[in-house]
Amino acid sequence: MIRNLRALSLALLAAFALAASAHAVGEGRIIGTVNDDKGEPLPGVKVTFTRPGTDYQQEKISDGKGRFTILVLDATKEYTLRLDKEGYQSYEEVLKPKPQDTLRISYQLGKLVPVGPSADELKELEGKNEAVAFFNEGVNALRSNDLSTAATKFEAATQNDPNLAPAFGALADVYVELGKNPEAVAAADRFLQLQPGDARGIKARFDALRAMGDKAKTDEALEALIAVEKSRETAVRIYNLGAESSRAGNRDDAVAYLKRAIDVDPTLDQAYTALAQVYMVMKSYKEAVAALEPVLARDPQNLEGLTIRFEALKSSGDKEGAKAAEAAMKTAQAAQSPEALYKQGIAQYNSNNLPSAIETLEKAVAADPNYAKAHYMLGLAYAGSDTAKAKAHLQKFLELSPDDPEAASAREMLTYMK
């Protein structure tokens, strides 16, 4: 039996405007990256972008790098973005783009994990009354991904046997997937009465409370979860809270959550780089540099970390430190593949350092003239300064990859570059 992990979304923590020449009034853009729970790019994710209460809808598919782009013609409205891929958690959130801005967001989707009865639970259920039959029918419904029927069957099982712990655990999970969060909390609470301290119930309870937006209760549930399971999965859940806090402008909360994620899993490199990005926005450049030290100690060639460190030292006015950091960044850059250069260019773009982003992306296409996505990013980077070059790179992108999920966005951009 399967259930979805809660969405593990990771957000890059700034949005940068392109020049008005590349945008119609009120237009915005979303550039997203989807990774799996190990941080690897996740291609083939269906991205559905809708406006609540209207028939408006865009659909995209993440490419081989896990990337997608959405052109928002009216960025003054509120939209819903949903991610779906077979075998992974479906995720949905409300986004409010900003006119004439590019919102860059990265997500992590967790794989499906076992739910329903374990072998020990099945053995425990042998010989029980009618509740067992309802429970098994709920399990079969889950196998068919029929959540509504599964919920009905598990409800019947709990009504027939109020002490049937596995039914309450499965019901809590299903309620969370259905968005019935108060009901999920109640089912998880009953499950934990029957099986105190069980991580399954604590996870469901945390996920439901987080979705309900009650910070105090969510933080309390988080501490309970950390107490029973200090894992990468738990660390990513905390990371998500940090990303959400940063998007909401609550940077003190973002820092606290990201530090907590690092405490739970000191190897979660994304938490260090995200923490450094938050410190950059706060102009706490010394703290940004310090946050990157563990990442660069593990991987001295990490171009993302080296790039953020250079930007932090430069912004702090540490000329000697910035000079050394730039040299280290360029040394690492010289030994990198076009793919690594492409990723560094994106990191520079995220730091609003467009000249450096252009320089790096130009190196990527020099090393691999057929690197379609690098041409696409160059089109974005040049859009505010050199329309001719922006058009040339977007046209090259379409020539190399006419069926790419971003091809439609590239064509739309070209229509504005007269």
Q: What is the pLDDT of residues 231-265, one digit of tens each?
A: 888 998 999 899 888 888 899 999 999 999 999 99
Confidence of residue 398 (pLDDT cuts 50, 70, 90): very high
- The answer to whether residues 243 and 254 touch, using CB atoms and an 8 Å cutoff, is yes
Give the CA distances from residue 350 to residues 341, 380, 400, in Å, rounded to whole numbers and listed in that order. 14, 12, 25
Q: Helix-strand-coil percent breakdown of the chain, rounded to 5?
A: 60, 15, 30
Q: Where are the domains of the chain?
A: 2-109, 115-229, 236-335
Query: Is CATH 3.40.50.970 the right assignment for the domain spanning 115-229?
Result: no
What is the CATH code for 2-109? Answer: 2.60.130.10
Give the CA distances from residue 164 to residues 79, 125, 155, 348, 403, in Å, rounded to whole numbers and listed in that order. 41, 8, 11, 54, 52
Confidence of residue 17 (pLDDT cuts 50, 70, 90): very low
Residue at 242: amino acid letter: G
What pLDDT score does 5 carry? 33
Confidence of residue 117 (pLDDT cuts 50, 70, 90): low
Q: What does the pLDDT look like over 96-116, one tens digit per residue?
A: 887 777 777 877 787 765 555
**In the predicted structure, residue 296 carries a pLDDT above the cut 90:** yes
Share of the chain above pLDDT 90, in %: 40
Q: Please name the fold of domain 236-335.
A: 1.25.40
**In the predicted structure, residue 410 carries a pLDDT above the cut 60:** yes
Mean pLDDT value of segment 144-150: 88
Confidence of residue 1 (pLDDT cuts 50, 70, 90): very low
**In the predicted structure, residue 43 carries a pLDDT above the cut 80:** yes
Backbone angles phi, psi at 280, to 5 degrees: -60, -45
Q: What does the pLDDT look like over 151-197, one tens digit per residue?
A: 999 999 999 888 888 899 999 999 998 999 999 999 999 999 999 99
Whether 115-229 shares its CATH topology with 236-335 is answered: yes
More confident residue, 347 or 94: 94
